[in-house]
């Protein structure tokens, strides 16, 4: 069916599809990153920025294109990372300005908004450089403008304009010497084209889904870069977000200009994101703070980043870490720690959603309370794992997949099948975590820490096996209704539990199967019993790491976190909203405590 207008819901799905494609190609973008600095993080920065955009969009349902574009722009600015992320934030700021006051946009109105977006992106850069993402944005916007009158619909417009963007991307080495020398195209520009690829696929397929296959590479898959961090003139990639009223971006840009290069001042007169490469981050923060309230500051050492990215230039990174979306790590940790995720599909009747891609936890619990259909989770197929394994093989020597307990799901078996199919091309060891949700997250985090520490492959595997043996989880359930709906508990037992106000506390056995750890009466008793069980199980352990998860039960999670800090004198107790893998069965109000100790 032709798509002749753009509303808020279509814009939301388009940016989510674009985000999914950029996140999918994160490692490949890091591998070709040489401009403005060869610090190997363009893919990560763009993925983090697009993840913030997707989360903001998914948690809103306004069908006005102006309202949704405003949400996208604000989410982009709040989550913008790095040079390319800041440029994307300003691009979406311009797009929102172009859609001002519109409920829906025609192709012609979209063309004008894109033109505004391209102009805003360029204006945010202190010293625009051709052969970068800016060039590709400009060329794509020009192609959109040129094709407006001939386009049959939005899908046709994107198909034709994407060809122009792709040609512009191929030409970036002709315009920027460092790209030609390194044998790659510009990473930021490639990321923008990936975003367009995701949008086009959504427009043609009518749904958001992972694109099969990796990207077409124009040049080398890895940049040829010598290890010479001393050639980086300004050492710190410095960022800050300021919030205020009447912020003068031009004056701020002029004040910061003498302190470094690669400067971007993006946003509006109320909220501004600053990005600059400098040797004096504190002076940057001092100047920026005079314009408004200072938030989300960051100063990354690009000398160290360059060494990590190119210290053994030409070699693949050692070990790819892979898990499934039942792993409930906080926020953007999957992207920051380069963890590949195979998503679970969640079905509400005939509606299907991809966990952590087209559905957020907030969306899930809203639907759980309003839908007449009980949600069902569908485990990933071997083909889903195979696609991730193939992608990982482009950048890593081996793979390590830590998967949801085989005693709870067939997900483990699907991963093992895919690993056998890949064994001639790429070795993947699949480990049964015998865990779920936040317990699985603690194990995966342990693996990520060992990899970042530089441990050998065998050392990482030993650490993971130790974590599997030593991680415990306890889950308090507010109602038996969802255990009954999911077939985990009989209707008779559900009725008895409701009459007696029974609140079971569940745990996982050493084999990774669910068992009842205790039965309590009333919510307050259940909370106290949970803390008692955790205290007893953790007694005598050292260097304890905790995590608290909840199914739309932030108050209960807060209580547990406070009790953990009190009993164990630990300062950090991350709290996360758990994924549908647990929420669908335990139901709203459930909360969990997991820990790992020496």
**Distance between CA atoms of 183 and 222, rounded to whole angstroms?**
8
Which residue has better confidence, 230 or 562? 562
Residue-level pLDDT at 85: 93
What would the mean pLDDT of 290-301 be, rounded to a whole number? 90
pLDDT > 80? residue 523: no
What would the mean pLDDT of 77-105 be, rounded to a whole number? 95
The CATH class of 471-596 is: alpha beta
pLDDT > 80? residue 480: no
Query: What pLDDT, in 10s, does the model give residues 119-158?
Result: 999 998 988 999 999 999 999 999 999 999 899 999 999 9
Provide the whole-model pTM: 0.86
Residue-level pLDDT at 138: 97
The CATH class of 315-468 is: alpha beta
Helices 107-123 & 154-170, crossing angle to 10 degrees?
A: 30
pLDDT > 70? residue 280: yes
As given in the structure block, the two tokens for residue 247 are 């912020």
What would the mean pLDDT of 475-487 be, rounded to a whole number? 68
pLDDT band at 233 (very low <50, low <70, confident <90, very high): confident
pLDDT band at 189 (very low <50, low <70, confident <90, very high): very high
Residue-level pLDDT at 500: 45
Residue-level pLDDT at 172: 96
Residue-level pLDDT at 230: 58
Q: Which of 495, 553, 489 is nearest to 526 (CA)?
A: 553
**Distance between CA atoms of 209 and 17, rounded to whole angstroms?**
7
Residue-level pLDDT at 229: 60
Q: Considering the chain, what percentage of its residues have pLDDT values greater than 70?
A: 92
Task: Provide the CATH number for the domain formed by 230-301 in this structure.
Answer: 3.30.70.250
pLDDT band at 481 (very low <50, low <70, confident <90, very high): low
What would the mean pLDDT of 234-238 be, rounded to a whole number? 92
pLDDT > 90? residue 485: no
What would the mean pLDDT of 465-477 be, rounded to a whole number? 96
- Gyration radius of the chain over CA positions: 25
Query: What pLDDT, in 10s, does the model give residues 309-366?
Result: 765 545 678 899 999 999 999 878 999 999 999 988 888 888 888 888 888 888 888 8
Residue spans in the chain of domains classed CATH 3.30.1180.10:
471-596
pLDDT band at 305 (very low <50, low <70, confident <90, very high): confident
Residue-level pLDDT at 310: 67
Residue spans in the chain of domains classed CATH 3.40.50.10170:
315-468
Q: Which of 180, 161, 175, 176 is nearest to 218 (CA)?
A: 180
pLDDT > 80? residue 299: yes
Residue-level pLDDT at 251: 95
pLDDT > 90? residue 367: no
Query: What pLDDT, in 10s, does the model give residues 525-560?
Result: 889 999 999 999 999 999 999 999 999 999 999 999
What would the mean pLDDT of 270-293 be, rounded to a whole number? 94
Q: Which of 407, 332, 361, 276 is nearest to 577 (CA)?
A: 361
As given in the structure block, the two tokens for residue 146 are 């040129």
**Distance between CA atoms of 234 and 420, rounded to whole angstroms?**
47
What would the mean pLDDT of 458-482 be, rounded to a whole number? 90
Average pLDDT of the chain?
89
Helix, strand or coil, per DSSP, at residue 215: coil
Inter-residue contact 402 to 431 (CB < 8 Å): yes
**Distance between CA atoms of 226 and 228, rounded to whole angstroms?**
6
CATH 1.25.40.340 is held by the domain 1-209 = yes
Residue-level pLDDT at 571: 85
As given in the structure block, the two tokens for residue 577 are 């909203």
Residue-level pLDDT at 492: 43
Query: What pLDDT, in 10s, does the model give residues 487-516?
Result: 555 454 544 445 445 688 899 999 999 898
As given in the structure block, the two tokens for residue 521 are 């009466």
């Amino acid at each position: 069916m032709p798509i002749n207008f753009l509303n808020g819901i279509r814009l939301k799905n388009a940016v989510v599809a674009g985000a999914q494609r950029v996140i999918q190609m994160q490692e490949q973008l890091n591998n070709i990153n040489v401009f403005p600095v060869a610090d190997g993080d363009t893919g990560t920065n763009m993925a983090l920025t697009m993840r913030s955009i997707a989360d903001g969009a998914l948690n809103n349902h306004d069908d006005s294109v102006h309202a949704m574009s405003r949400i996208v722009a604000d989410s982009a600015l709040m989550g913008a990372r790095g040079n390319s992320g800041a440029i994307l934030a300003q691009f979406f700021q311009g797009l929102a300005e172009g859609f001002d006051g519109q409920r829906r946009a025609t192709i012609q109105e979209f063309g004008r908004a894109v033109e505004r977006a391209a102009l805003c992106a360029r204006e945010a850069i202190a010293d625009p450089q051709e052969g970068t993402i800016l060039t590709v944005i400009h060329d794509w916007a020009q192609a959109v403008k040129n094709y407006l009158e001939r386009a049959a619909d939005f899908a046709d417009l994107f198909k034709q304009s994407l060809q122009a963007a792709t040609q512009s991307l191929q030409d970036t080495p002709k315009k920027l010497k460092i790209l030609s020398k390194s044998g790659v195209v510009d990473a930021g520009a490639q990321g923008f084209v990936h975003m367009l690829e995701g949008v086009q696929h959504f427009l043609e397929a009518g749904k958001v889904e992972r694109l099969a296959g990796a990207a077409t590479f124009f040049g080398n898959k890895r940049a040829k870069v010598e290890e010479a961090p001393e050639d980086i003139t300004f050492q710190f990639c410095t960022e800050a977000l300021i919030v205020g009223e009447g912020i003068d971006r031009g004056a701020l840009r002029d004040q910061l200009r003498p302190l470094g290069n690669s400067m971007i001042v993006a946003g509006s007169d109320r909220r501004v994101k600053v990005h600059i490469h400098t040797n004096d981050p504190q002076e940057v923060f001092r100047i920026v703070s005079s314009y408004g309230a200072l938030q989300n500051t960051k100063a990354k050492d690009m000398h160290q980043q360059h060494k990590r990215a190119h210290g053994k230039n030409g070699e693949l990174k050692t070990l790819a870490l892979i898990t499934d979306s039942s792993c409930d790590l906080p926020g953007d940790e999957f992207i920051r720690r380069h963890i590949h995720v195979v998503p679970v599909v969640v079905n509400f009747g005939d509606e299907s959603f991809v966990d952590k891609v087209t559905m957020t936890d907030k969306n899930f619990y809203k639907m759980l309370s309003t839908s007449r259909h009980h949600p069902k989770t569908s485990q990933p197929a071997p083909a889903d794992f195979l696609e991730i394994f193939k992608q990982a093989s482009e950048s890593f020597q081996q793979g390590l997949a830590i998967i949801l307990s085989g005693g709870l799901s067939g997900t483990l078996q699907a991963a093992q099948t895919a690993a056998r199919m890949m064994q001639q091309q790429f070795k993947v060891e699949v480990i049964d975590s015998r865990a779920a949700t936040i317990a699985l997250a603690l194990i995966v985090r342990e693996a990520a820490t060992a990899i970042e520490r530089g441990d050998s492959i065998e050392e990482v595997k030993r650490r993971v096996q130790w974590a599997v043996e030593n991680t415990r989880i306890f889950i308090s359930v507010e109602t038996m209704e969802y255990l009954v709906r999911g077939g985990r508990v009989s209707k008779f037992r559900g009725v008895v539990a409701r009459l007696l106000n029974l609140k079971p506390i569940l745990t996982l056995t050493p084999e990774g199967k669910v068992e009842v750890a205790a039965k309590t009466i009333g919510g307050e008793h259940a909370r106290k019993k949970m803390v008692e069980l955790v205290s007893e199980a953790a007694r005598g352990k050292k260097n304890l790491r905790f995590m608290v998860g909840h199914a739309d039960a932030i108050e209960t999670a807060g209580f547990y976190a406070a009790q953990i800090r009190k009993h164990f004198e630990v300062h950090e107790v991350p709290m996360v909203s758990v994924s549908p893998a647990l929420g669908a069965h335990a139901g709203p109000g459930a909360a969990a405590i997991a820990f790992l100790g020496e």
